[in-house]
Amino acid sequence: MCGIVGFTHKDRFSSGECIREATATLLHRGPDQQGVFETPNVSLGVVRLKIIDLISGEQPMSSDDGDTVLVFNGEIYNYGEVREELKARGHRFSTRSDTEVVLKAFLEWDTGCLARLRGMFGLALWTESRRRLVLARDRMGIKPLYYSRRGDDIYFASELKAIFVHPEIDRVINLDGLNCYLRLNYVPAPHTLVRDIVKLLPGHLLVWENGQVRSECYWRCAPEPLSAPITLEDAKQQLDSLLQRAVKEHLVSDVPLGLWASGGIDSTTILHYAAAASPSRLKTFSITFKGRSFDESRYVREVAHLYGTDHTEFDLSPGAELVDAIQQFAYYADEPSADAGSLPVWFLSKMSRQQVTVALSGEGADELFGGYLTYRADRYAQMARRVPALVRAAASAVRLWPVSDDKISFEYKLKRFLEGSLMSLEEAHIFWNGTFSEGELQAFFVNADPGPMRRMLGDVPPGDGLDRFLLFDQRYYLPDDILYKVDRMSMAHSMEVRPPFLDHRIVEFAASLPQSYKVRGSELKFILRELMKGKLPRSILYRKKSGFDIPAHDWFRGLLKPLLLETVTEAAVAQTGLFHWPAIEAVIRDHLERRANFGYHLWGLVILFLWLKQWNIRSAGLQEEMAASERSRVLI
């Protein structure tokens, strides 16, 4: 895995020192090899974490005539197949790397090569004779790619911090991105929290040619029912075959490899197929919360024993190390993430990296097959909306219940469900995965505007219930929350994480299935559980979903209380000019005095304010921001 960065120079000259400084900000993504390429027209930089071909494959990589140059972040799992096809067409190879396969595939098929590549990537290809730059991002957005346009020039990188190095970049908050962050817990593409910097959308490419820019979608998955009904047995057989192939391809590595295990059905399914495909004993890694009701260690140990893995655990108990890690998030997270699951992923990555460089994970199964409680809540809320008066009465009554210190207690879930049941279907689905309600935002956020979030919903094709919410989560929640936090937390420790469920063949297959194969009655991920019956113990197949995050409610009343009170202060809030301090102070006070559970709300605010301070992000005046908002819509 790697990190890439580049600047064109049509209008604005950039010194060689600038590209070297920008490349240096990405060293954590690629400590094994670094390089730059420069002409009067472009500067490219790359850092490399060696996974395939440890001897050769250095980057930037140039074509034989030196006219085309590639910087590449990612893994191509079918590079062997594509290599053989290219050899049959007359191409000759000097390395065993997938990087060279990508370069020569581009020389053969231009941007059409992207449809032939299976994997995860963010890449840039420069052709000097045409003054042409091609940027591309993998289908599901597993790997990041940001860009910014300045006049006729374009700057891009795997992380925001590398673009920040360029002197032309103004670090001004983007209110559309901030509105999304406070509602969703993440910043959905194409937005970022920085004005005039955007994310390249998953499955998209961008072509910059001598100052002119065009963007296009080369892949998008939308639910398309099969031409003929498929039986459950046939669907199970197809999924079994797809998982066998995908996991086998994801195991290819020239460096030590392991698996992240939670004891749940997703990671254990990947372990099951990996154990069948691997000739050697596998290494597994997990996080524990000893003494807490949501500790998963007994399930993980059962799985490790079943498959005979070499298993390692790290207990995430309150301590000074936690506070130190949170304060490092502001740098390595690149953008704030209000997903408290970032903290366990940080320590899981740190622990795993001591033994392996690559890990397989179970990300993606929930969004493909319907694994979240929110999908069940969406269905129940439709029934509750038929008796709104009863819902309002229940919501008023349940507010009197004592708050719990547990991670996601029944009291917390019930209060959220009832509040969401008084919203529209779409708003409720977003609210259940997010934190602040519209009313709460209007109270403390000066520029509260639901417009950006509603435009996101408008971009998702209309569908029937579950399929529409699955598609929404695949397009936004999965890449910009789940995959984002895994990429940043793992790459902070120079580690690559691979999610086999997100092989696009599996994604397309899942989208074709009827809804009843995903959620049936109250059973989530129905087809996956049916497939794994007889393969996994019932204790794993039907265990309660715990969620991979921290007991934020509890920790902000104890260990993390000083961090909260030192970070979200009246002075810090006033400096932004974006929030009403009395309303934020009330949220903090109500939580500390146990009148409400705002642990996840406060996590998002703490991470946001740490990030604003780390990168010296300022807010623009209202008139300036309104004009910039219009410019950013043109840019997107």
**Both 287 and 204 in a single domain?**
no
**Both 255 and 358 in a single domain?**
yes
pLDDT confidence band for 379 (50 / 70 / 90): confident
The per-residue pLDDT for range 78-101, each reduced to its tens digit, is 999 999 999 999 999 999 999 999
More confident residue, 418 or 478: 478
Between strands 33-38 and 42-48, the pairing is antiparallel
Residue 443 lies in a domain: no
Residue 159 lies in a domain: yes
Q: Return the minimum-mean-pLDDT range out of 318-332, 333-347, 454-468.
A: 454-468
**Both 330 and 473 in a single domain?**
yes
Q: Return the minimum-mean-pLDDT range out of 286-300, 391-405, 407-421, 576-590.
A: 391-405
Residue 160 lies in a domain: yes
Question: Is the separation of the CB atoms in 187 and 334 below 8 Å?
Answer: no
Query: How does the average pLDDT of the chain come out, rounded?
Result: 90
Going by C-alpha positions, the residue among 342, 326, 412 that lies closest to residue 611 is: 326
Question: What one-character DSSP code corresponds to residue 474?
Answer: I
**Both 89 and 192 in a single domain?**
yes
Residue 623 has a pLDDT of 43
φ and ψ at 92, to 5 degrees? -120, 145
pLDDT of 362 higher than 80: yes
φ and ψ at 412, to 5 degrees? -65, -45
Over residues 409-431, the mean pLDDT reads: 74
Residue 238 has a pLDDT of 97
Residue 40 lies in a domain: yes
**Both 174 and 264 in a single domain?**
no
Q: What Cα–Cα distance (Å) separates residue 351 from each residue in 392, 407, 524?
A: 47, 23, 31
Residue 617 has a pLDDT of 94
Task: Indicate which CATH number applies to the domain containing 263.
Answer: 3.40.50.620
Q: How far apart are CA 564 and CA 534, in angstroms?
A: 47
pLDDT confidence band for 543 (50 / 70 / 90): confident
Please name the residue that has the structure tokens 């994480």.
497
Residue 26 lies in a domain: yes
Residue 491 sits in which domain range? 232-370+467-541
**Both 203 and 116 in a single domain?**
yes
**Both 105 and 179 in a single domain?**
yes
What's the number of domains the chain is made of?
2
Residue 429 has a pLDDT of 84
**Both 149 and 256 in a single domain?**
no
Using the 3D structure, point to which of 517, 541, 565 is the last residue of a domain. Answer: 541
Between strands 2-8 and 358-360, the pairing is unpaired
Residue 17: is it exposed, middle or buried by C-beta count within 10 angstroms (0-12/13-18/19+)?
exposed
pLDDT confidence band for 377 (50 / 70 / 90): confident
Which helix (H) or strand (E) segment holds residue 156: the answer is strand 153-157
**Both 245 and 363 in a single domain?**
yes
pLDDT of 626 higher than 90: no
The per-residue pLDDT for range 273-303, each reduced to its tens digit, is 999 999 999 999 999 988 676 778 899 999 9
Over residues 261-283, the mean pLDDT reads: 96
Q: How far apart are CA 393 and CA 463, in angstroms?
A: 32
Task: Indicate which CATH number applies to the domain containing 179.
Answer: 3.60.20.10
Residue 13 has a pLDDT of 67
- % of the chain surpassing 90 pLDDT: 71
Reduced to 3 DSSP states, what percent helix, strand and coil does the chain have, rounded to the nearest 5?
50, 15, 35
Among 218-227, 293-302, 493-502, the range with the most confident prediction by mean pLDDT is 493-502
Which amino acid belongs to residue 103? Answer: L
Residue 628 has a pLDDT of 55
> How does DSSP assign 475-527, residue by residue?
IIIIIIIIHHHHHHHHHTTT-EEE-GGG-HHHHHHHHHS-GGGT-BTTBSSHH
Using the 3D structure, point to which of 507, 541, 575 is the last residue of a domain. Answer: 541
Residue 134 lies in a domain: yes
pLDDT of 337 higher than 70: yes
Q: Return the minimum-mean-pLDDT range out of 45-59, 215-229, 248-262, 496-510.
A: 215-229
**Both 88 and 188 in a single domain?**
yes
Cα 270 to chain centroid distance, Å, stands at: 19
**Both 245 and 207 in a single domain?**
no
Residue 585 lies in a domain: no
* CB atoms closer than 10 angstroms to residue 534: 7
pLDDT of 419 higher than 60: yes
Kindly report the length of the chain.
636
Over residues 415-439, the mean pLDDT reads: 79
pLDDT of 622 higher than 50: no
pLDDT of 437 higher than 90: no
Which helix (H) or strand (E) segment holds residue 285: the answer is strand 283-288
Residue 202 has a pLDDT of 97
CA atoms within 13 A on the CB side of 28: 19
Residue 79 has a pLDDT of 96
Residue 392 has a pLDDT of 63
Question: Is the separation of the CB atoms in 69 and 154 below 8 Å?
Answer: no
The per-residue pLDDT for range 19-48, each reduced to its tens digit, is 999 999 999 999 999 999 999 999 999 999
Over residues 577-599, the mean pLDDT reads: 94
Residue 311 lies in a domain: yes
pLDDT of 583 higher than 60: yes
**Both 274 and 337 in a single domain?**
yes
More confident residue, 515 or 460: 515
